[in-house]
Amino acid sequence: MRIITGSRRGKKLKTLEGNAVRPTSDHIKESLFNILQFNIEGRVFLDLFAGSGQIGLEALSRGAERAVFVDSAKASCAVVEDNIRTTDFSGKATVVHSDFSAFLMRTREQFDIAFLDPPYRTGTLEKALLAVVSHMNRGGIVVCEHPTDEPLPDKAGEFVRVKDYRYGKILLTAYRHESMV
């Protein structure tokens, strides 16, 4: 696993081994950043189910101002911290060891971009989507990675589904504030 482009292009990243993790493939990661391409520079990025942190680190490499990495697994947070040191983004990254709902209940921070990729088919994605929209800036975007057989609502708070991008059995679903559509 590596950073695809930007200031840290080609930098190798660590990941956890085993079935508990499912890193986003390079193909889907590249597609995600094609969707976000003009919305990254200077923005605050939330990687809500961070895993190895590869998505938030890619955002930093492409010019995001700051990234917040949240994961409930202590081992994942340790890998994210290692990857932050490896990529030299310590001044722009915050790692939070927390369940997504506990983090969203206590943070007052607002985000420009949120990426949600929780374990598939657990019901967590829809709950996280509904909770994260209240922490999004009005011009922000939320992108969810999920299997095609895990439906998402057309609306989450004031955010509406703007497009689904299909990659085999995986969807990237983008939401924007209804005033921006």
Question: Taking the alpha carbons of 34, 37, 39, 44 in that order, is the dihedral positive or negative?
Answer: positive
pLDDT at 99: 96
Round the CA-based radius of gyration of the chain to a whole number and report it.
Answer: 15
Query: Looking at the domain assignment, is residue 94 inside a domain?
Result: yes
Question: Which structural domain range is residue 99 located in?
Answer: 26-180
Query: Looking at the domain assignment, is residue 6 inside a domain?
Result: no
Query: Looking at the domain assignment, is residue 13 inside a domain?
Result: no
Tally of structural domains, the chain: 1
pTM comes to 0.95
Query: Of how many residues is the chain composed?
Result: 181
Query: Looking at the domain assignment, is residue 7 inside a domain?
Result: no
CATH of the domain at 156: 3.40.50.150
Give residue-wise pLDDT tens across range 60-93. Answer: 999 999 999 999 999 999 999 999 999 999 999 9
- Cα 62 to Cα 151: distance, rounded to the nearest angstrom: 30
pLDDT above 90 for 95: yes
Query: Looking at the domain assignment, is residue 5 inside a domain?
Result: no
Query: Looking at the domain assignment, is residue 21 inside a domain?
Result: no
Give residue-wise pLDDT tens across range 10-57. Answer: 899 999 876 556 778 888 999 999 889 888 999 999 999 999 999 999
pLDDT at 18: 66
Query: Looking at the domain assignment, is residue 17 inside a domain?
Result: no
Under 8 Å CB-to-CB from 52, ≥6 apart: which residues?
A: 1, 13, 14, 15, 16, 21, 23, 76, 79, 80, 83
pLDDT at 37: 83
Under 8 Å CB-to-CB from 165, ≥6 apart: which residues?
A: 31, 35, 171, 172, 173, 174
Query: Looking at the domain assignment, is residue 133 inside a domain?
Result: yes
